[in-house]
Amino acid sequence: MDKYIKYFEANKALWDAKTPIHAASKFYDMDAFFAGTNTLRHIELGELPSLEGKTILHSQCHFGQDTLSMERMGAECTGIDISPEAIKKAEEIRDELNLASRFVCCNVYDIDKHIDTLFDLVFTSYGVIGWLPDLDRWAAQLCARIKSGGYFYMAEFHPVLYMFDWGTDRIAYRYFNDGNPYEEENEGTYVDNKADIKMTEYFWQHSISEILNALIGQGMDIVLFNEYDYSPYNCFPNLVKLEDQKFQFKHNGIAPPHIFSILAKKR
């Protein structure tokens, strides 16, 4: 993965800078979290197998709200993320809440250098694979950590949604991955588009077939695949609120797929 180091380093700096802004934001509403709010969305809550007593590896956990929410649901959790600031914040929150999740600062592609145990479930969600150049290696890292009979679960923004340029409502990004990252200098973040942050980011598009084939290539059986025409987060410009945890974008009056989810079982 050496040829991607420049991109990983830039994205790590980006997420380090975003972390304090996110942790202080209304979007991530830390007061509600400390008061006991479960940050998982109804999509994954309705699709995940029972978490009670399960061991979970949470990939790209950001500053750990979902990891700690799953611990509060009775699981034993380990979260990994490339951003040292995010992992530091996750550990601070865990300690303040007297919880026990383990957090490890590492690149997804180096998980095998940091963690050698197997888990009942590997979980990853919302805004994750766009930062990754190679899904075959991503799936190899994650699926290698699942026990036989265990599960992989993801809920993620749909690649069709990522084709739109939010500023103009125009289709501006390819659907298929041609191997090259998009390079953009963006201001603000999804929690506040006026936040004082302007940095270069690198991201990749991944089609649905690329994602599914990466998992199938690891011997995983797909047991659930769903698509949704709304986002459970109000995290893009000009989304219309339909109801709680349902925000929608329309192009020419038509809502494209916003989210997909996958549950896969290891043989």
Ligand X SMILES: C[S@@+](CC[C@H](N)C(=O)[O-])C[C@H]1O[C@@H](n2cnc3c(N)ncnc32)[C@H](O)[C@@H]1O
Q: Which residues bind ligand X (CB under 6 A)?
A: 8, 11, 15, 60, 62, 65-66, 81-83, 86, 107-108, 125-128, 131-132
CA distance 100 to 39: 17
Between residues 83 and 254, which has the closer beta carbon with respect to ligand X? Answer: 83
Between residues 80 and 215, which has the closer beta carbon with respect to ligand X? Answer: 80
Closest approach of Cβ 211 to ligand X, in Å? 16
Closest approach of Cβ 21 to ligand X, in Å? 12
Between residues 55 and 83, which has the closer beta carbon with respect to ligand X? Answer: 83
Estimate to the nearest angstrom the gap between the alpha carbon of 151 and the chain centroid: 17
Closest approach of Cβ 229 to ligand X, in Å? 20
Closest approach of Cβ 254 to ligand X, in Å? 26
**CB closest to ligand X, residue no:** 127
**Buried b / exposed e across 201-240, counting CB within 10 Å, b at 16+?**
bbbbbbebebbbebbeebebeeeeeeebbbbbbeebeebe
Q: Which residues contact 23 (CB under 8 A, 6 or more apart)?
A: 30, 63, 89
CA distance 157 to 228: 9
Between residues 127 and 257, which has the closer beta carbon with respect to ligand X? Answer: 127
Closest approach of Cβ 29 to ligand X, in Å? 12
Between residues 71 and 81, which has the closer beta carbon with respect to ligand X? Answer: 81
Containing 227, the helix (H) or strand (E) segment is strand 220-228
CB 208 within 8 A of CB 163: no
